Amino acid sequence: ERQLTALPDTRVARSAMVKAQVSVVDTDSAVTIANRIAPEHLELQARNAEAMAARCRAYGSLFIGAWSAEVLGDYCAGPNHILPTGGAGAYRGGLSVMDFLAVRTWLRLDERQAREVLPLAERLARVEGLDAHAKAAGRRLRQDP
């Protein structure tokens, strides 16, 4: 509250104080809540911040310890400030070089390897209701492609 008086406009800071912080009674609760809400910025200001950090799985950017302030990550010491919002930290992190790379997948099986997995492919395709896939697997299993 005291620090608010030094700001020219207190609206954003006051809103953040009310809406954007969570106080908990123990670190287990803190980690559980953090992983559930997947915040854009997650600051761990606790004696055991390192241990807590190891258990955190859903966040945009993680700030570990009293000296690792968000302001430093935002402006000069952090890896990135293009971060997932709205809980998207549950399934992705901040923008990285990986976002600009194309991941290519490929498959190469010889006849023995293919014949080993074709029965499974045929069954899975049938379970999924993909009859053409099931027939494609079955034909390969019973004859040459």
Measured distance CA(6)–CA(107) in Å, rounded = 62
Residues that are catalytic: 40-41
Decide: 41 and 70 in contact? Cβ < 8 Å: yes
Taking each helix axis from N to C end, the angle separating 111-127 and 131-142, rounded to the nearest 10 degrees, works out to 150
**φ, ψ for residue 38, nearest 5 deg:** 45, 65
**φ, ψ for residue 69, nearest 5 deg:** -75, 145
